[in-house]
Amino acid sequence: MADDSRARLIAYLCQAGLSTARANAVLNDYTLGLAGKQRAWADTFGDTPAQQAVASIVREAADLIAPEAA
């Protein structure tokens, strides 16, 4: 599903005049920024087990958007 969504967005950006390489770069930059914002937000959560559990879920969602480099 995500790959289909990405392909549709790339096709749309190409129809709008971007090259495929530029459309991919724009989308990659956006997803990296979004995932980074989610990780930064998760870092602001408290230290209780419940808060850390929620922060972990937010980080997992960020990894789905753009996996963090190991």
pLDDT along the chain (70 residues), means of 10: 82 96 95 95 96 96 83
Query: Computed over its alpha carbons, how large is the radius of gyration of the chain?
Result: 15
The Cα–Cα gap between 1 and 21 comes to 21
pLDDT of the residue at 53 = 97
pLDDT of the residue at 1 = 53
pLDDT of the residue at 68 = 78
pTM of the full structure: 0.78
